[in-house]
Structure 1
Amino acid sequence: MSKEINVLGAEVHGPEAGGTEEKPKLVTAQMLIPFILLTSCFAWWGLANNMTDTLLAAFKKIKSMTDFETSLIQMAFYGSYFCFALPAALFIRKYSFKSGVLLGLGLFITGGLLFYPASITQEYYHFLAALYVLAGGLSILETSANPYMMVMGPKGTATQRLNLAQSFNPIGSIAGVVISKLFILSQLRDISEAERLAMAPEALKAVQTEELAAVMNPYVTVSVILILTWILIAVNKKMPKASDSGTMDLKKSFASLFSNKDYIFGVLAQFFYVGAQIGVWSYTIRYVMTEIGLNEADSATYYIISLVCFASFRFIGTALMSRFKPSNILITKAVTAGILTCLVMFVGGTVGVYALVGISACMSIMFPTIFGLSLETVEDENIKLAGSGQIMTILGGAVLTALQGVVSDATGSIRLSFLVPLACFVIILLFGYKESRKAKA
């Protein structure tokens, strides 16, 4: 087995790279199987994210909880993402990207399996603990997989390759919504909160046992399937280890990253992007109900259409990057998203609903493009640590979505709450413009 130095400076232990220079390929023949295995992880965490979104509605009904109590699900999920990202970076820097992927998948599997004992105890906080472990695994997995995908080939196609892998993330998201609808939400008994409170304790517990089993089954099933994925990655000898050489100087690394204005701006842009994405999707159903008078189930159809657009346009955006600069595509998407958001706010009705769906098409390439562009000026030895900073920005999904709710409550208008995503798209536009100017220079 030979050793080569990958495009971002980490040592890659793998097949011969070849001795002649040629046009950079998106994925080489030697890396095809590792690429497929790693790309599958992008779909798996998309599935887990969107399955978890349904838990708020599920537990509110099963346990007759308040909105604040159900919000602990999001706090556990996003809080775990935030807490695990930096330790993940330190772990993969000390060992390897592959080790980080395996650790992340391992915690993902463990968290899903913990839903089984939680369904037996029927304690809400046991479910939260299982979810915290699962989300911690997702945090480590994303922190590892995103930069890992970038080094799995030539630097010239790193951002395009990451976009291609990320294109499978919304496919997993769509699957998560469908699985949740079929195997969790559809299994909940049509019993109101008042009727549940009036039931005898034994009868209520029997109903809750049945419903909590419905919550548990998809998570345990996914975890069992993921064990096979873990094994395939672990035994694959062509998976590049991408291990660092040399000692780790955290003080120097942090100083370098904090002094890198391009990277810091990228982290800021990513924070606002995640906030825009989660905010737009969180309020899609309510907006559709308000503007065209549909019920929850019918309104959810527009959410699924949004995810389909998101997935489709990520593939399209990835293809366009072979002809246009990623920064210019990002600018175009941010401008278009801003215009569509204005239609959502000031026109409404059917036009507003279609505009809201269109925003998802614009957001499709934003996360991986911001991720890739922000890491271009980071020193090779700091890539892993820099990647963790990007993953920690997922906290924006909790902070800015809550702010959007505050705006909606304060103004009494779901339309005006989209001021928050609009501001986010402006910041993303500024980042894209700065990156475009840098590329020209």
Structure 2
Amino acid sequence: MNHQSSPPKPELIAKQDFWPFLLLTTLFMLWGVAHNMTDTLLAAFKRIMSMTDFQTSWIQLAFYGSYFCLALPAALYIRKYTYKSGILLGLGLFAIGSLLFYPASITMSYGFFLFALYVLAGGLSILETAANPYILVIGPQETATQRLNLAQSFNPIGSIMGVFLSKVFILSKLNMAEADDRTSMDPEALKAIQAEELAGVMNTYVGVALFLVFVWFVIRAVRMPVASETVEGDGVISGFRRLAKNKNYVRGVVAQFFYVGAQIGVWSFTIRYVMVELDLKESDASDYYLVALILFALSRFLFTALMKFFKPSLLLALSSLVAIACCLVVIYANGMVGVIALVLISLCMSLMFPTIYGLSAEGLGKDTKLGGSGLIMAILGGALITAVQGQVSDITGSIHLSYYVPLVCFVVVMYFGLSHYRRKKAKVQHPPVKMVH
């Protein structure tokens, strides 16, 4: 009897590419550090400069606005040169932006801090525009989404480090004087307090910059795999026309915009919500943010494993549904119940970014680099939607009601997951008929 052997399952990553892949995953960790240090800056600047929630949301506008502005130039740069050159350019700008926190703290100018964040985030935009599609194309297409989820699993490890650094070196250095007390202070005394608080911010970012310089030289020296991707033979305009006609891709970009808005909104106001509900100061409230990020990190590995048994799109839809339910609890519950629901949202969010990215980039072929820029530009949602959430909080006087904003975002993400799942299911049930000539 002849037994026909089943085809071998596609590997996640080739053995010869393991160490370069591991090095790439450290980049995902590094921008996790930057993202979540930025989230804690909202709570820090609210106290240091006595700002409203909307005014502090300008931090996210500068950060994610830079993502939007730099993603397309980054894609064009990578298109002309290589993924590795894009990674080195991004790391360089990341380091320069971090170093700019030194003059910003000396001048004590909020505008200068926003400029430093803009430069820093521009580097991250280039870094993500290069690294995400690079991970997708350096292995089999069948395992691309799973591979990206694995690489992205290191991102929340960086996020935890970012919050820990902020808690120890920034939030713990804040003077406990409230806005009303600061208004009545002698200007020179207030300036001295603010200078000490801003020094904590500056020292932390400059320390990160020195480490980034070291990583830059390591990546410069390592030989990276050449991506097996078709070189574009036509212009950028033709590529964007193809992308615009791809319904799955367009829906994915929209879903990514709303997802990032939800994630940044949930995390940016977590410390504020915990402070209100549990009557804690910033440093103590950040512990709950840290727990949320630990759950986020652990569940990302869990979801990566579950993708061996369940369709990524189905997991995306189900996790969105649970996130919506958690948002409702956050809005209408009080005390520890609301805080627990808020922490659990992070568990639901862990698979969303890489899964939306991977599902959206399916079948893009030679347009993968351009398509990647659109998915990174969608990170602008982190700026705009966070600003909307800040406005809702200020206008209603309720941090609770502001969580209706991420709730709506999760509805959009759930729709994308369901639409992709149904489309794939329909293709399996009704495969296209081939014409025989």
Which of 133, 146, 159 is the equivalent residue of 2:119? 133
Q: 2:269 and 2:56 mapped to 1: Cα distance? A: 16
Q: Does 1:396 align with 2:381?
A: yes
Give the partner amino acid of 1:131. Answer: L
- 1:188 to partner: Cα distance: 3.1
Give the partner amino acid of 1:141. Answer: L
Which residues in structure 2 correspond to 1:181-330 (within 5 Å)?
181-193=167-179, 204-240=190-226, 245-330=231-316
Which of 56, 80, 89 is the equivalent residue of 1:103? 89
2:405 corresponds to: 420
Deviations 1:55-81 (A, max 9, x none): 333344444556555443222212111
- 1:286 to partner: Cα distance: 3.4
Aligned 8 A contact 2:232 2:366 in 1: no
- Identical amino acids, percent of aligned pairs: 60
- 1:122 to partner: Cα distance: 3.5
Change (3 A) 1:353 1:209: closer
1:168 corresponds to: 154
Deviations 1:356-395 (A, max 9, x none): 22111011000100000001032x2211111111111111
Aligned 8 A contact 2:78 2:85 in 1: yes
Give the partner amino acid of 2:421. Answer: S
Gap runs ≥5 in structure 1: 1-20
2:20 corresponds to: 34
Aligned 8 A contact 2:329 2:338 in 1: yes
Deviations 1:392-430 (A, max 9, x none): 111112222232334445555443332222222221111
Q: Does 1:434 align with 2:424?
A: no
SS in 2 for 1:357: helix
Change (3 A) 1:415 1:217: closer
- TM-score (normalizing by structure 2): 0.88
Which of 360, 364, 368 is the equivalent residue of 1:383? 368
Q: 1:349 and 1:180 mapped to 2: Cα distance? A: 25
Change (3 A) 1:147 1:228: same
RMSD (CA atoms): 2.4
Give the partner amino acid of 2:407. Answer: L
Which of 339, 342, 346 is the equivalent residue of 2:325? 339
Q: 1:296 and 1:209 mapped to 2: Cα distance? A: 19
- 1:208 to partner: Cα distance: 4.0
Give the partner amino acid of 2:164. Answer: V
Q: 2:321 and 2:176 mapped to 1: Cα distance? A: 44
Give the partner amino acid of 1:47. Answer: V
Aligned 8 A contact 1:170 1:308 in 2: yes
Gap runs ≥5 in structure 2: 1-6, 428-437
Q: 1:154 and 1:243 mapped to 2: Cα distance? A: 11
Q: 2:29 and 2:110 mapped to 1: Cα distance? A: 27
Change (3 A) 1:168 1:115: same
Q: 1:416 and 1:200 mapped to 2: Cα distance? A: 37
Corresponding residue pairs, total? 420
Q: 2:118 and 2:55 mapped to 1: Cα distance? A: 15
Q: 2:412 and 2:323 mapped to 1: Cα distance? A: 12
2:433 corresponds to: none
2:71 corresponds to: 85
